[in-house]
């Protein structure tokens, strides 16, 4: 399936300064994921629960990167295989690596049967299948669904952004339907939750739309969109009297979660200049953030093991009442996750690139990619 040709090749890449911002957002988002799993969202509930609304920034970033990857691809088959492999390949490698490390440290592994193996292969392992909590795997499963759903939308949007806008609106309608009719359970097929991928597709599409129409989406229009989204949030709280605890809305996103998450994305976009200035001024901070951007996928998976191991071996569970222990746990989780992420990233890239070259051969794209980025 040959992709339609775009004459102006400058449209096929994200500008370098924007690419730097995307890399920083990815790194900051992964740091946020680790902090949330260390208890950040429970620090001062229900207000600290709004940190959940920063997760869709990862969908936003992935949508922007995937959109231009689709534009550069020579064929739909190549694009879908590469994007799929960039998601499931590292997951298998890093998950297996984590199991090996877990076995070395504890000399135990979870029991496996045919059902467990199939759930691992299809990226829906349950709590009994995993040796330590890996609840964040839902994101990877949702991304697989999103990539396939977004492919025809990206193809159509090469000539008009209308498909991207309709995709965002469809996501909003879906979230409203969930709020009214509780439709999430109807989207389970053989254990696969399709709803999460479909409803989060809107954030993915907005990432593509923003960088496609960045000149039109300046601060004034972003502020207008922010006000509209904030109005929906307030309507949910004041008029509909929803449960303000965002954790209760994140698994099956409704209009309350979606509107609050768009608020978070719009605020991040408005803070672009400040984020770039801060990173350009503090080189050590930029290096720290970019490290977690480079190893985003690995840290996304292995940090759960770091948290679990410290809690099991050193009983660092309830550290709310002891700030010093809380800081020690935080530092150790980041340190252990960073150490494990380096070989995980190296190994997953080696194996997935080798498999890609075997199946597809060397890329023949005329548009060079400065860096290869997976789902994150």
SS3 43: coil
Instruction: Give the pLDDT of residue 233.
Output: 98
Instruction: Give the pLDDT of residue 372.
Output: 47
Q: Quick one: CA dihedral 291, 296, 297, 303, positive or negative? A: positive
Instruction: Give the pLDDT of residue 2.
Output: 44
- C-alpha distances (whole Å) from 294 to each of 14, 223, 317, 353 are 18, 31, 29, 16
E strand segments, the chain:
188-189, 192-193
CA distance 156 to 122: 29
Instruction: Give the pLDDT of residue 4.
Output: 42
Contact between 211 and 67 (Cβ < 8 Å): yes
Instruction: Give the pLDDT of residue 375.
Output: 54
Instruction: Give the pLDDT of residue 72.
Output: 87
E strand segments, 161-311:
188-189, 192-193
Please give the average pLDDT of every successive group of 10 residues along the chain, which has 376 residues.
45 86 97 92 82 96 94 88 89 81 77 84 88 89 96 94 97 97 95 96 98 94 98 97 94 97 98 97 98 96 91 84 89 95 91 86 50 51
Longest CA–CA separation in the chain, Å:
61
CA distance 1 to 75: 5
Tell me the pTM: 0.91
- C-alpha distances (whole Å) from 244 to each of 58, 234, 248, 250 are 23, 10, 8, 12
């Amino acid at each position: 399936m040959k992709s339609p040709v775009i004459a102006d090749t400058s449209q096929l890449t994200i500008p370098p300064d924007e690419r730097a911002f995307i890399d920083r957002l990815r790194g900051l988002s992964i740091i946020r994921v680790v902090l949330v799993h260390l208890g950040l969202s429970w620090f001062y509930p229900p207000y600290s629960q709004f940190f959940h609304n920063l997760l869709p920034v990862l969908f936003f970033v992935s949508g922007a990167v995937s959109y231009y990857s689709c534009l550069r691809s020579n064929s739909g088959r190549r694009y879908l295989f590469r994007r799929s492999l960039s998601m499931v390949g590292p997951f298998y490698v890093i998950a297996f690596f984590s199991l090996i490390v877990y076995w070395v440290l504890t000399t135990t592994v979870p029991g496996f049967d045919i059902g467990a193996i199939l759930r691992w292969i299809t990226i829906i392992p349950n709590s009994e299948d995993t040796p330590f909590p890996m609840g964040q795997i839902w994101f990877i499963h949702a991304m697989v669904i999103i990539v396939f759903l977004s492919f025809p939308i990206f193809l159509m949007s090469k000539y008009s952004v209308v498909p991207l806008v309709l995709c965002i609106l469809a996501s909003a309608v879906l979230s409203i339907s969930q709020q009214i009719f509780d439709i999430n359970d109807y989207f389970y097929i053989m254990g696969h939750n399709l709803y999460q991928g479909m409803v989060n597709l809107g954030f993915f599409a907005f990432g593509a739309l923003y960088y496609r129409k960045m000149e039109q989406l300046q601060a004034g229009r972003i502020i207008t969109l922010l006000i509209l989204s904030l109005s929906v949030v307030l309507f949910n709280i004041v008029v509909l009297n929803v449960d303000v605890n965002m954790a209760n809305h994140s698994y099956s996103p409704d209009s309350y979660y979606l509107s609050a998450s768009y608020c978070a994305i719009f605020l991040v976009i408005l803070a672009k200049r400040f984020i770039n200035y801060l990173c350009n001024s503090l080189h050590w901070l930029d290096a720290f953030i970019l490290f977690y951007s480079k190893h985003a996928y690995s840290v996304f998976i292995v940090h759960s093991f770091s948290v679990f191991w410290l809690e099991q071996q050193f009983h660092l569970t309830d550290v709310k009442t002891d700030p010093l222990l809380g800081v020690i746990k935080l530092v150790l989780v980041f340190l252990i996750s960073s150490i494990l992420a380096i070989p995980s990233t190296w190994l997953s890239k080696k194996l997935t690139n080798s498999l890609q070259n075997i199946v597809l051969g060397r890329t023949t794209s005329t548009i060079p990619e400065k860096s290869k980025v997976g789902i994150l």
